[in-house]
Structures are given as C-alpha cells and as structure tokens.
Structure 1
Amino acid sequence: MKELKHLNKYFKKYWLKLLLGIFITIVARVFSLIMPSYVNKSIQAIEDFISNTISVSEAKGLLFEYILIIIGAALLSGLFTFLMRQTIINVSRYIEYDLKNEVFDHYQFLNLNFYKKNRIGDLMNRISEDINQVRMYGGPAIMYGIQTITLFVCLIPLMFIKAPTLAAYTLLPLPILSVLIYQISKIIHKRSTKVQEYLSTLSTFTQESFSGVAVIKAYSLEPKINTELSDLALEGKNTSMDLAKVNAWFFPLMILLIGISNIFVIYVGGKQYINGEIATIGIIAEFILYVNMLTWPVAIVGWLTSIIQRAEASQKRINEFLNVQPTIKNEIEEATPVTGNITFKDVTFTYEDTEITALKNTSFNIKAGETVVFLGKTGSGKSTVLDLVARLYDVSSGEILIDGVPIKELNLNSLRSAIGAVPQDAFLFSDTIANNIRFGDENASIEEIVSAAKKAVVHENIEGFAKKYDTVLGERGITLSGGQKQRVSIARALLKNPKIYLFDDCLSAVDTETEEEILNNLKQLSQNRTTLIVSHRVSSAKNADKIIVLENGSIIQEGTHEELNNVDGYYKELYIDQLSEKE
C-alpha cells in the first residue's frame, strides 16, 4: 500500500470527520451486537416457562421487553449506520474532489513535451477512472474495514466468554479463509493494473476516433476502425474476465466456510447442550446469529482486498504523472512588469521528443512597439521563436532577455499575461462564440467582444448565424470554417490588449483581401505593442518594422521590406513569386 501513502495528507485534512465517522461506525456495530444476546434471553424465557419456572404473564412480559430492546437496538444501529455513511462516504467524495484538482493542476503546469509523449485518452482515464478507484479506498474501504474490525474485536471475545469450545470450532474456518484471500489478492493486484491500463488504451482509441471522424469518413476507414475496436474490445473482455475469475472465488469460499461454521455450531453446540456443558439451547441460536453477522464482514475482507488492490494499482498510475516535475518553473514569486523588448543571444533549441535542432545560435533584438515578421520554409524555426518568447520551452543554450532581464528571472504569470498568442492551429472550446472570444478577457462586455470581432473581420460571419454570438461551437470549433476559427482566435488576442502579440501563421486560411483588412487593423492596434508575426506571405511583411528570414534554424536575412527587396535572396524571390501569383 506504499502508493496509497499519497492520500495521507487528505486523511489529515479531514481527520475530524473521519474520527467522527469511525466513532459512529463503532457505535452502530455495538448496537447491532445487542440483538443476538436478547434472542438468547427470549429463548431462555420460553424454556423457563416450559419448565414452569415462570408464569405465562411473566414470560409474556419478558418477551415483550426483549422484543422492544431488539427493535430499539436495530433502529439505533440503523440510525448510526446512516450517519456513518454521511460522514465517511462524504469524506471520500471530498478526497476525490481534492485529488482531481491536484492532478488537473499538475497537468496544467507540465510542459508541452509531456503532452507529446502521453495520449489524451490516458490522461483523461487517470483523472477519472483511476481516481474513482482510489475514492473507493478512501470511503467504502475504510467504512467497511472499520465495521469488520469492530465486529471481530467485539464479537470474537464475546463468543469465547459465553462458550469457549463452541467459539473455537465456529471460528476455525476463518484463518483458512485469510490465507486464501492473501494469495488471491496478489493475483488481483496484477490483473487490476492490466485492466486500468486497458481502459486508458480504450479511452485513447475512442477519443482519437471521435476527434478524427472526418478523416475516417473521408477515407472510408469505418470497417478498419470497427475491426480495431473489436480486437481492442476482445482484449478488454479477456483482461476483465481474468480479473473477474479471480474475484469470483471470494463469495463461494465465503459461503462454504460460513456454512461449515454453521454446521460446527449446530453439531458441537447440540452435543454440548445434550451433555449439559451449555445451560440453554438459546446459546446455539445466539451463535448462529453471530456466525451470520460475521458472514458479511468475512465476505467484505475479500471485497476490501479487491478494492485496496485496485486503488493501489490506480494510485500508482496517478503517482507516475504526479512525480513528473515540470521543466518550466516559475522561479519568481513577485509580479514583474513587461514592456516588450525582446533579445535573443546565441539561442539554440533542440526538441526533446524528436531531437531536431530548431534554432542554431540565433541572435536578434526587437524593440518594444516594433512589428517583426518571421519568414522561411517549413521547419525553419519560425514557430519555435514564438514558443520560446512565451516560455513554453526553455532554450538548450544561449539566453533570451525580456526588457533586458533573463526570461527565467521573470514571473511566469506576468510574462504570459502580457502576451496575446494566436497559434497556427486555432483552438476553440465547445462553448459560445462570445465566450470563446472572452477567453482574452473574462470580464469583457459584449460590446468589447463585438469590437474585437470587427477588428478581426469576423463580425459579419458571426451575425450570419441564427444565434449570432450565442452560437455554441462544436468540439475544437468544428462548426466554423478554418478562416473563421483563425479570426475568432485573433479576436480573442485583440480583446486581451497585451504588451506582446504573437501571431503564428494565423492568416493562412483567409483570402488576401481579408488578410489585408486584418493587417491594417493590426497596424493601428499594435501601436506601442510588440508584434511578432510568423507567415509564409510577403503581404504580411511589407509594412513590418523588421523582417527576419530563417533557414534551418539560422537567420539568413534581416531588414525592412525595401532593404530585402533590393538584394538577391530568399525574400526577393518569394516576393516576385507571390506577386506573380496574385496577378
């Protein structure tokens, strides 16, 4: 259970509720132990009446008194059982809530390489199915475990006090059951881990299939996907069946061994009563009730073992991600202002997952308020520059300065709050268009949202929808065209009104006329705002303060449109080619 030690901090947090729940559990079990002894006393009263020791009225009075006590004890036991669930089970939900928040918060702090190495379906499964398995340990396992321990601690000594020999025979099967459970639990742990790993694989497969349904339909891949899912489902069935076969041993073993205990009670108890070793036959009835009271706790031992083993396997999977430390850390607690001066000094960056060197000893300086366009072929390192400015990655060597301060010495939240980024692949959430734009400023009014949409030249498109700005988008903005998604994403950045704009080829899906209108609006809005634009079009670069051309991670040209257009090189060739295409 070493992996489950991670939950100890939550048990400490809710120790008062847990302590109260444990006390209520013990009280509930103690009240439930009253019934068997009073059943014994009721039978004794009947025996006394038959032997003429007491009268009919006395016997009736005793029976009425004992029945009331039995009913009262049952009612109190039921009440405390209800309160027990309201405390301990509630604590398990609090722990589930806290653990999900902890995992989700940790996910958000992990760097992009983590998400390149791990599949979304697996991440989702660990924060949902795995945490649900852990919750069962934090609630039901504790509750039923305390019940079982209380019954064993109270009941077994009581049985030995009343009839030692009969108690010894009655409890004889229990150690055998304990040994069998121990052996089976080891197998359960291994198979539970396989089941959870399979669920992650299934979540990943289905999530990717649903996200890529357009490609699947376009290429008529439905039969292939169905076959793969059938194979995956068959594997899952076999894995789950392997676990179910082991779990299936618990209840038959419990019924068998409890049945043997009942036989011992009837045979040994009957023999002792005949020999006069026990005073009343009621003790046999009392012990039969005791054995049946032990039935559920004995069965629970197996169930608890299964729950704990599953929780251990799931918490181990959760801990694997919680133990991954983010490489991008916020080293500065106090806020640091950002104005927008950006300097790259001999920056080299290599992607960890592919080992591709995207930038090689790259140096340049951008003054606050300048607009700089990065041009170059695919894979030249343009997008990497923007990612490094936003500190989504740390450089392999060299240094990046923001306002003359090393980027690592800036408060990370201050840096990113000063940036309005529009990624190459515009991501929109399954929400209204207004709320998607409002991500730039959660307090923005609808008038400010409309103004930003107009500047991004998407207002007329939105007005064309039936519900306008209240139109709910599909997953990843599937409701909109590529150009519309890009412009909504631009509107989000404009609404933020940051110190630094990062536009990563965000006009690739719009026509040249719309691009020209957006660029003119950006020129007005980016006054006193540092603007970095990645593009493949010269039209985006003509009015820039500076153009930087990259090739294989190195700068091959740098200057204004007029300067670069007057010398032979990549920029002039690109300009001539695109001018010819436009004509």
Structure 2
Amino acid sequence: MKELKHLNKYFKKYWFKLFIGILITIIARVFSLIMPSYVNKSIQAIEGFVGNTISKSAAKGLLFEYILIIVGAALLSGLFTFLMRQTIINVSRYIEFDLKNEVFDHYQRLNLSFYKKNRIGDLMNRISEDINQVRMYAGPAIMYGINTLTMFVCIIPLMFIKAPTLAAYTLIPLPILSVLIYQISKIIHKRSTKVQEFLSSLSTFTQESFSGVAVIKAYALEPKINAELEDLAQEGKDTSMDLAKVNAWFFPLMILLIGISNIFVIYIGGKQYINGDIASIGIIAEFILYVNMLTWPVAIVGWLTSIIQRAEASQKRINEFLHEQPSIQNEVEIATPVTGAIEFKNVSFTYEDTNITALKNISFQIKAGETVAFLGKTGSGKSTILDLVSRLYDVSSGEVLIDGTPIRNLNLNSLRSAVGSVPQDAFLFSDTIENNIKFGNENASFDDIVTVAKKAVVHENIEGFTQQYNTILGERGITLSGGQKQRVSIARALLKDPQIYLFDDCLSAVDTETEEEILNNLKEVSENKTTLIVSHRVSSAKNADKIIVLENGEIIQEGTHTELNNTDGYYKELYLNQLSEKE
C-alpha cells in the first residue's frame, strides 16, 4: 500500500469528517449487536414459561419488551448506517475531486515532450478510471473496513465471555481464511495492474479511431479497424477473466467457512447443552446470529482486499505521472512585464524524443514592434523558433533573451500572457465559435469578437451559418474548413491583444486574395507589436521589416524583401517561382 500514501494529505485535510464517519460507523454496529443477546433472552423467557419458572403473562411481557428493544435497535442501527454513508462516502467524493484537479493541473504543467511520449487515451484513463478505483479505497473500503473491524472487535470478545469453548471452535476457520486471502490478494494485485493497463490501451485505440474516422472511411479501413478492435477486445476479455477467476474464489470460500462455523455452533453447542455446560439453548441461537453477522464482514474482507489492490495498482500508475517533473520550470514568482524585444544568441536545439537537431548555433535580434518573417523548407527549424520564444521548450545550448533578460529569468505566466500564438494546425474546441474566439480574452465583449473576426476575414463566413456565432463546432473544429479554422484561430490571437504575435504558417489554407486582405489587417493591428511570421509564401513575408531564411537549422539569408530579392539565393528563387505560378 506504499503507493496509496499519496492520499494521506487528503485524509489529513478531511480528518474531522472521517472521524465523525468512523464514530457513526462504530455506533451503528454497536446498536446492531443488541439483537442477538435479546434473542437469547427471548428464548430464555420461553424456556422459563415452559419450565414453569415464570408465568405466561410475565413471559409475554418480557417477549414484548425484548421485541421493542430489538426493533428500536435495528431502527437506530439503520439510521446511523445512513449517516455513515453520508459522511465517509462524501469524503471519498471530495478526495476524488481534489485528486482529479491535482492530476489535471500537473498535466497542464508538463512540457510538450511529455505529450509526444504518452498517448491521450492513457492520460484520459488515468484521470478517470484509475482515480475512480482510488476513490473506492478512499470511501467504501474505509467504511466497510471500519465496519468489519468493529464487528470483529465487539463480537469475538462477547462470544468468548458467554461460551469460551464454543467460541474457540466457532472461530477455527478464520485463520485459514486469513492465509487464503493473503495468497489470493497477491495474485489480484498483479492481474488488476494488467486490467488497468489494458483499459488505457483500449481508451487510446478508440480515441484515435474516433478522431481519425474521416481517414478510416476515406481508405475503407473499417474491416481492418474492426478486426483490430476484436483482437483488443479478446485480450481485454482474457485479462478481465483472469482477474474474475481469482475474485470468484472469495465468496464461495467465505460461505464454506461460515457454514463450517455454523456446523460447529450447532454440534458443539448442542453437546454442551446436553451435558449441561450451557445453561440455555438461547446461547446456541445467539451464536448462530453472531456467526451470520460475521458472514458479511468476513466475506467483505476479500472484496476490500480486491479494492485496495486495484486502488494501489491505479495509484501507482497515477504517481508515475505525478512524480514526473516538467522540464520547463517557472523560476520567477513575481510578474515580469514584456515589451517584445527578442534576441537569440548562439542557440542550438535538439528534440529529446527524436534526437533531431532543429537549430544549429543561430543568432539574430528583433526589436520591439518589428515584424520578422521566417522562410525555409520543411524541417528547417522555423516553428522551433516560435516554440522557443513562448518557452514551450528550453534551448539545448545558447540563450534566448526577451527585452534583454534571459527567458528563464522571466515569469512563465507573464511571458505566455504576452504572447498570442496561431499554430499551423489550428485547434478549436467543441464549443461555440464565439467562445472559441473568446478563448483569447474571457472579458471581451461581443462587439470586440465581431471586430477581430472581421479583421481575420471570417465574419462573413460565420454570419452565413444558421446559428452564426452560436454555432457549436465539432471536435477539433471539424465543422469548419481548414481556412476557416485558421482564421478563427487568428481572430482568437487578435482578441488577446498581446505584445508578441507568433503566426506559424497560419494562412496556408487561405487563398491569395484573402491572405492579402488578412495581412493588410494584421499589419494595422500589429503596429508597435513584435510579430514573428513563419511561412512558405513570399507574399506573407515581403512586407516584414526583416526576413530570415533557414535551411537545416541554420540561417542562410537575412535582410529585407528588397535586399534579398536583389541577391541570388533561396529567397530570390522562391520569389520568382511563386510569382510565375501566380501569373
């Protein structure tokens, strides 16, 4: 259970509610213990009437009194059982809430390389299915565990006080049961881990299949995907059956051993009554009730063991991510203002997951308010520069400075709040168009949203939809075309009104006329704002204050449109090719 120590901080947080819940649990079980002793007394009253030691009316009076006590105790036990669930189960929900927030918050702090190494389905499974297994430990396991412990602590001493020999014979199966549970629980732990790992694989497979359904249909891959799912389902069935087979041993073993205890009670108790060692046959009835009251607690031991083993396996998987420290750390707590001057000093960068060197000892300066365009072939390192400016990665060597300050010495939230990024693959959420644009500024008015949509040349498209700005987009914005998604993403960045704009080939799906209109609007909006534009088109770069051409992670050309167009090289060749294509 060492992995479950992570939950101790939450138990400490809710200790008072837990304490009240445990106290109520004990009270509920104490009231339930009243019934067996009064059943014994009821039988003794009947024996007294049969033996002529008490009158018929006295026997009836005692029976009526004992019945009232039994019914009253049962009602009180039921009431406290209800309150027990209202306290301890509620605490487990609070812990589930806190743990989900902790995991999700940690997910958000982890760097991009983490998400390249781990699948979305696995991440989702750990924050849903795994945490649900942990919740079962934090609530039901504690509740039934205290319940079971209370029953054992109360019933077993009572049995030895009333009939020591009979109690000893009755409890003989319990040590055997403990050994069996210990052995079976070890197997359950291993198989529970396999089940949770399989659920992650299943979540990943289904998530990828649903996200890529357009590709599956386009290539007629439905039979192949169905076959893969069938194999996966078969694996899941086998894994779950392996666990179910072990779990299936618990209840039959419990019932068998409890049955043996009942036989001991009847046989040994009967002999003792015949020999006169037991004064009343009511003791036998009381012991049978005690044994049957122990049936559920003893049976629940196996279930509790299974819950704890599953929770331990799940918490171990959760801890694997919680113990992973993000490589991008916010090293400055106080806010640091950003004006937009950017400098790269001998910067090199290699991606950890692929070991590809994207940038090789590059240096350049961008003044605050300047517009700089980056051109180059695919894989030349253009997008990597934008990622380093927003500090999604840290450089392998060299230094990035913002306003003359090393980027590591800036408050991370201040830096990213000052950056408006538009990625090449525009990501939109399954929400309204209005809320997707408003994502850039939660406090923006509707008029502000319309203004930026017009500047991104997407307003007329939105007005053409039936629900207009209230149109709900499909997952990842699938409702819109590629160009519309890019323009909505541009509108989002414009609404944020940051100090630094990062446009990563965000007009690739837009026609040239619309591109020119957007660029003119961007030039107006980005005045006095530092703007970095990554593009494959000269038309997107020609009006920039400076153009930097990259090849294999190195700067091969740098200058204005006029300067580069008058110099033989990559830029001039690209310009002439695209000009002839346009003509």
TM-score normalized by structure 2? 1.00
Residue 349 of structure 1: how far off its partner (Å): 0.2
SS at match of 1:424: coil
Per-residue CA deviations over 1:433-489 (Å, capped at 9, x if unaligned) read 000000000011111101010000000000000000000000000000000000000
Query: In the alignment, residue 373 of structure 2 is paired with which amino acid?
Result: V
Aligned residue in 1 for 2:180: 180
Offset, 1:424 = 0.8
Displacement of 1:282 in angstroms is: 0.3
1:504-556 per-position Cα deviation (integer Å, ceiling 9, x unaligned): 00000000000000000000001110000000000011110000000000000
Q: Where does residue 101 of structure 1 map in the other structure?
A: 101
Residue-by-residue CA offset, 1:28-71 (whole Å, 9 max, x unaligned): 00000000000000000000001111111111110010000000
Residue of structure 2 equivalent to 1:342: 342
- Aligned twin of 2:170: 170
Give the corresponding residue for 1:555: 555
Q: State the shift of 1:164 in Å.
A: 0.3
Report the Cα offset of residue 83 of structure 1.
Answer: 0.5
Aligned residue runs from structure 1 range 115-134, under 5 A: 115-134=115-134
Aligned to 1:68: 68
> What is the aligned partner in structure 1 of residue 543 from structure 2?
543
Aligned pairs (5 A) from 1:337-416: 337-416=337-416
Cα distance in 1 between the residues matched to 2:28 and 2:175: 26
Please give the alpha-carbon distance, in whole angstroms, between the structure 2 residues aligned to 1:543 and 1:382.
Answer: 18
Task: Tell me the C-alpha RMSD between the 2 structures.
Answer: 0.3
Structure 2 match to 1:92:
92
Equivalent position of 1:306 in the other structure: 306
Equivalent residue, structure 2, for 1:251 = 251
Q: Distance between the aligned counterparts of 1:130 and 1:523, measured in 2?
A: 50
Q: Aligned equivalents of 1:69 and 1:436: distance in 2?
A: 65
SS at match of 2:507: coil
Query: Who is 2:534 aligned against?
Result: 534
Distance 1:541 1:347 in 2: 23
The residue type paired with residue 339 of structure 2 is: T
Secondary structure of 1:453's partner?
A: helix
Partners in 2 of 1:288 and 1:446 — Cα distance?
A: 74
Name the residue aligned to 2:329. Answer: 329
Look up the match of 2:205.
205
User: Is 1:142 aligned with 2:142?
Assistant: yes
Alignment of 1:511-522 (within 5 A): 511-522=511-522
> Over residues 104-138 of structure 1, what are the superposed CA-to-partner deviations in whole Å (9 max), with x where a residue is unaligned?
00000000000000000000000000000000000
Distance, in Å, in 2 between the alignment partners of 1:172 and 1:100 is: 44
Letter in 2 for 1:19: F
**Residue 179 (structure 1) shift:** 0.3
Q: Write the distance in 2 (CA, Å) between the matches of 1:496 and 1:255.
A: 66
1:373 partner SS: strand
Paired letter, 1:286 = E
SS at match of 2:354: coil
Deviations 1:397-442 (Å, cap 9, x if unpaired)? Answer: 0000000000000000000000000001000000000000000000
1:31 & 1:10 partners in 2: Cα distance? 30
- 2:58 maps to what in 1? 58
Mapped to 2, the partners of 1:547 and 1:436 lie a distance apart of: 31
* Matching residue's letter, 1:393: Y
User: In structure 2, how many angstroms separate the alpha carbons of the residues matched to 1:505 and 1:67?
Assistant: 83
Number of equivalent positions? 583
1:158 to partner: Cα distance: 0.5
Separation (CA, whole Å) in 1 of partners of 2:445 and 2:226: 47
- Match of 1:128, SS state, is helix
Q: Secondary structure at the match of 1:440?
A: coil
For the pair 1:568 / 2:575, whether they are aligned, the reply is no
| CA distance in 2: counterparts of 1:228 and 1:74, whole angstroms | 55
State the distance in 1 between where 2:179 and 2:333 align. 55
SS class of match (2:185): helix
Q: Distance in 1 between matches of 2:193 and 2:38?
A: 47
Q: Which residue type is aligned with residue 131 of structure 1?
A: I
User: In structure 2, how many angstroms separate the alpha carbons of the residues matched to 1:269 and 1:292?
Assistant: 16
2:516 maps to a residue whose letter is E
Letter in 1 for 2:145: G
Task: Measure, in 2, the Cα distance between the counterparts of 1:181 and 1:79.
Answer: 32
After TM superposition, which residue ranges in structure 1, 4 or more long, deviate above 2 angstroms? none
1:366-515 map, 5 Å:
366-515=366-515
Deviations 1:281-316 (CA, angstroms, capped at 9, x unpaired): 000000000000000000000000000000000000
C-alpha distance in 2 between matches for 1:60 and 1:513? 101
Post-superposition CA distance 1:53-101 (Å, at most 9, x none): 1111111110010000000100010000000000000000000000000
After TM superposition, the score normalised by the length of structure 1 is 1.00
For 1:269-280, list aligned pairs within 5 A. Answer: 269-280=269-280
**Distance in 2 separating the partners of 1:446 and 1:66:** 73
Identical columns (%): 87
Equivalent position SS for 2:89: helix
The secondary structure found in structure 2 opposite 1:365 is strand
* Structure 1 Cα separation of the partners of residues 141 and 25 of structure 2: 13
Gap regions ≥5 residues in structure 2: none
2:81 maps to amino acid: T
